[in-house]
Structure 1
Amino acid sequence: MQSNPSSQEVKRYLTNFLPSEALEDHADAVGVVERDRKLQIPPLVWSFAFGFAGGASRTLASFRRSYNSTADKTLSPGGFYQRLTPTLAEYLRDLVECGLDEVAVPHTVSEEFNRFRDVMIADGTVLRLHKLLSEEYEGRREEQAGARLHLLHNVTEQTIDRFSVTDEKRHDSTQFETGSWLEGRLAILDLAYFKYRRFALIDENDGYFVSRLKRSSNPVVTDELREWSGRAIPLEGKKIFDVVDDFCRKYIDVEVEIEFDRREYAGTQSRDMKRFRVVGVRNEDADDYHLYITNLSREEFLPEDLATIYRCRWEAELLFRELKTQYRLDEFDTTKKHVVEILLYAALLSLVVSRELLSLVIEHADDNLVFPPERWAATFRSHAQLILYRLSGYLGYSPPPLLDRLIADAQKIHKQRPVLQEQLATAIKPAAEA
């Protein structure tokens, strides 16, 4: 049994992760804080991280209430909203990027992945926006607005290595950059990222990949990597999809030759060829094969191993589901581009802080305990308001008395907008007087 972290240790851990002085210094550097200094940056950041996670719905009003219950001085609705600026959006993005560089929850993948530096999954999801944002975030259909969040999910460390936000029409594939960062890493890719040149570059950077095989690619088999007894159909020299429907064997394991265009250089584009491995695993229910292309060797990975590896893509689906169900990533009731970005980065900030806190939990828990990501996210969210409240006291902030905050939040804001009782009283009074 390992020691349990105290409440003080949890608060100290979080404030070491995002130190108040660093939060304030960067806010000054990018111009978030105005001269009157009424806005307190640490409570604002933690309110976005925990107020978002704790609320039943995601509204700017709920963020303001979280801030007012944390900071020394409250902000009126107008005072809060006028501070939601494009500069604040950039500031929150910086915090997310900084947090991603720090957070890590190790030892969360199976032992068979130990030979890889990291297991990476690239994926994207569409976020539906108000139609008035269609110029800033162009959707796939006319008069429709949508953003696309692209993530590079590190399954090994259960966090996000990279992220970007584009309009909906931008293809996921354009956000996956190859380079030396791939060395020793395994990239698991779906058909949205299928490109022979990309596979070649991963291989040339000493990385590894597993991808579904696109039917339109139909590469030529150059060698069979597994011998079959009896009257097996010979594959060498044939295109894989031309013959795959005639098979009844459990596995296919062959080498294929692919052709691709190199990137244009000095006005010239050369053609190149490489050989990779294609594996097929029969799906008895559908009476067909799941075909994968990879540069993983047969000596180390059998066909069923590759099918198991590819199923890890479900981790990315779970991550998007966590962001949307636990942190309400797809709730954007605004017509302002920068407010969309603030809400989006707030969701990612919640995720980053959640993962950082999970690393502390794992460090102090028994070694045999397992923390499923979705269950942890629900637990984190249910305790978020309590953590925020205690964190406020630890940081030395003294929010106004509860009754004062209730009065401030519950009173009518717009004098020109009568409530129903006032309308009824106004209509009934002349009749009564008559």
Structure 2
Amino acid sequence: MRRLTTLFPSEFLEEHAEELGVVERNRKTQMPALVWSFVFGFAAGESRTLAGFRRNYNATADETLSPGGFHQRLTPTFAEYLRDLVDAALDEVAVPDAVDVDVDRFPDVMIADGTVLRLHRFLSEEFEPRRGEQGGARLHLLHNVTEQTIDRFSVTDQKAHDSTEFSTGSWLEDRLVLFDQAYFKYRRFALIDENDGYLVSRLKENANPLITEELQEWRGRAIPLEGKQIHDVVDDLSRKYIDIEVEAEFKRGQYEGTRSLDTKRFRVVGIRDEDADDYHLYITNLPREEFFPADLATLYRCRWEVDTLFRELKTQYELDEFNTSDPDVVKILLYAALLSLLVSRELLDLVTEQADDEIVFPPERWAATFRSHAQLLLHELGEYLGYSPPPLLERLIEDAQKIHQQRPILQETLATATQPRCES
């Protein structure tokens, strides 16, 4: 428990809540209990409802909250508060390390990616979908493979493109960024190169740059490629690798109302997939002297890490199943999911330290284990923090009683309907 309270000290949780105005100064709400109730309540799954989160809080804190009192605390400010906690934890907690690749050549290897979360149809105005009527949010991550952290994250509506959340600048110097095709843009690649950064991206099918030079010579009657466009000739090739220089034309950013045309030369590498009888094509600015075609394919496999991360969030934590039409609650639950993942990873690090060296903990198996023990962990943590929750019988009475006095329960309705018949 000390490991978790070091990650989120109770004093910090209370002080930051006061700074943002999340709670009143009399501290009627016990913020550590509220935060941990959302973290472990989201992980548990079975209690991933607002009523379930309230029960977790009431089972942990010294004083219980009524349904109305609990709902009053689910505000935009509380969502901002949880987001700040995610930001704080990202600097401390590692995320899954699924691929063993030598990346010492770069100070940092970064992966930019995003995933779509399906929301209630009543949220289509707040979280505008790309098509259809169902609301959709998009979670964007910038994952640092080298440091095993998430450097940046953001939440937008589904219509927002992944690439709009990636900004270039001097921070790219000497760093390698791995992109999927959603981020493909020659201007972005040019800016990365001009900031002394490096990139590897899959080449889009509708991108057909001009080949200016072959970087690998082939003996015999090899098809000459110079002066042709890559997608016009790739289907006619059977060589194991393609290694060429291409020239791409693109528009620069707007300046004084106009956007000028420019060109930039990149390297394109193809790795033949014999099973599919085609090539995996990558565009990069990494030099051939240091990185052979097979090296680029190995580097690009690092992207599996963020795919594994998204898959865990969706399969283990059911991240894209939000049964609410309140946009603030959507954000609260999303940040609770990320906090659950980070706390899970912190505990996995602790378990790994204590276990024998030969024991392996697959991330998704660990996630299932963490979820199944979430309620027990919350109980142990409450005791560690010194909380004295109400007696069990009192909690049962509080949770099980009818809340809405004007809403008849089924037995009352049946009794009222049958009473005249029985009297007659």
Identify the TM-score tier after normalising by the shorter chain: over 0.9
Partners of 2:25 and 2:47 lie apart in 1 by 32
Uncovered stretches (5+) of structure 2, i.e. residues with no partner: none
What is the percentage of aligned positions where both structures have the same residue? Answer: 75
Q: Secondary structure at the match of 1:257?
A: strand
Uncovered stretches (5+) of structure 1, i.e. residues with no partner: 1-10
Match of 1:103 in 2: 93
Mean alpha-carbon deviation: is it higher for 350-359 or for 393-402? 350-359
Partners of 1:60 and 1:91 lie apart in 2 by 18
Mean alpha-carbon deviation: is it higher for 14-23 or for 355-364? 355-364
Match of 1:88 in 2: 78
- Please show how residues 171-190 of structure 1 align to structure 2 within 5 Å: 171-190=161-180
Q: Structure 1 residues 173, 211: closer, same or farther in 2, change over 3 A?
A: same
Q: Structure 1 residues 89, 269: closer, same or farther in 2, change over 3 A?
A: same
Match of 1:13 in 2: 3
- Please show how residues 398-417 of structure 1 align to structure 2 within 5 Å: 398-417=388-407
Q: Secondary structure at the match of 1:289?
A: strand
Q: Give the drift of 1:355.
A: 2.1
Match of 1:273 in 2: 263
**Contact 2:111–2:145 (Cα < 8 Å) also in 1:** yes
**Contact 1:224–1:253 (Cα < 8 Å) also in 2:** yes
- Please show how residues 16-35 of structure 1 align to structure 2 within 5 Å: 16-35=6-25
**Contact 1:152–1:160 (Cα < 8 Å) also in 2:** yes
Q: Give the drift of 1:351.
A: 1.4
**Contact 1:159–1:355 (Cα < 8 Å) also in 2:** no
Q: Structure 1 residue 62 and structure 2 residue 15: aligned? A: no
Q: Structure 1 residues 117, 366: closer, same or farther in 2, change over 3 A?
A: farther
> 1:232 corresponds to which letter in structure 2?
A
Q: Give the drift of 1:324.
A: 1.7
Q: Secondary structure at the match of 1:137?
A: coil
2:142 maps to which of 142, 147, 152: 152
Partners of 1:181 and 1:363 lie apart in 2 by 33
**Contact 2:18–2:25 (Cα < 8 Å) also in 1:** no
Q: Structure 1 residue 431 and structure 2 residue 421: aligned? A: yes
Mean alpha-carbon deviation: is it higher for 69-78 or for 134-143? 134-143
Q: Structure 1 residue 224 and structure 2 residue 214: aligned? A: yes
Q: Structure 1 residue 290 and structure 2 residue 290: aligned? A: no
Match of 1:312 in 2: 302
**Contact 1:120–1:187 (Cα < 8 Å) also in 2:** yes
Q: Give the drift of 1:41.
A: 0.3
**Contact 2:96–2:309 (Cα < 8 Å) also in 1:** no
> How many aligned positions are there?
424
**Contact 1:108–1:156 (Cα < 8 Å) also in 2:** no
Partners of 2:195 and 2:348 lie apart in 1 by 32
Kindly provide the CA deviation profile for residues 185-209 of structure 1, in whole angstroms up to 9, marking residues without a partner as x: 3211111100111112222333221
Partners of 1:17 and 1:347 lie apart in 2 by 16
Partners of 1:368 and 1:62 lie apart in 2 by 38
Q: Give the drift of 1:71.
A: 0.5
Match of 2:370 in 1: 380
Q: Structure 1 residues 272, 52: closer, same or farther in 2, change over 3 A?
A: same
Q: Secondary structure at the match of 2:319?
A: coil
Partners of 2:188 and 2:174 lie apart in 1 by 16
1:299 maps to which of 284, 289, 294: 289
Partners of 2:372 and 2:176 lie apart in 1 by 34
> How high is the TM-score relative to the length of structure 1?
0.92
**Contact 1:328–1:347 (Cα < 8 Å) also in 2:** no
Partners of 1:153 and 1:380 lie apart in 2 by 23
**Contact 1:119–1:187 (Cα < 8 Å) also in 2:** yes
Match of 1:115 in 2: 105
1:359 maps to which of 334, 349, 357: 349
2:383 maps to which of 393, 398, 414: 393
1:234 maps to which of 199, 224, 228: 224
**Contact 2:41–2:47 (Cα < 8 Å) also in 1:** no
Kindly provide the CA deviation profile for residues 129-167 of structure 1, in whole angstroms up to 9, marking residues without a partner as x: 222222211112353321111111233344422111111
Partners of 2:45 and 2:276 lie apart in 1 by 43
**Contact 1:55–1:62 (Cα < 8 Å) also in 2:** no
1:71 maps to which of 35, 55, 61: 61
**Contact 1:154–1:161 (Cα < 8 Å) also in 2:** yes
Partners of 1:210 and 1:432 lie apart in 2 by 80
Partners of 1:43 and 1:197 lie apart in 2 by 48
> 1:378 corresponds to which letter in structure 2?
A
Q: Give the drift of 1:36.
A: 4.7
- Please show how residues 130-169 of structure 1 align to structure 2 within 5 Å: 130-169=120-159
Q: Secondary structure at the match of 1:143?
A: coil
**Contact 2:47–2:53 (Cα < 8 Å) also in 1:** no
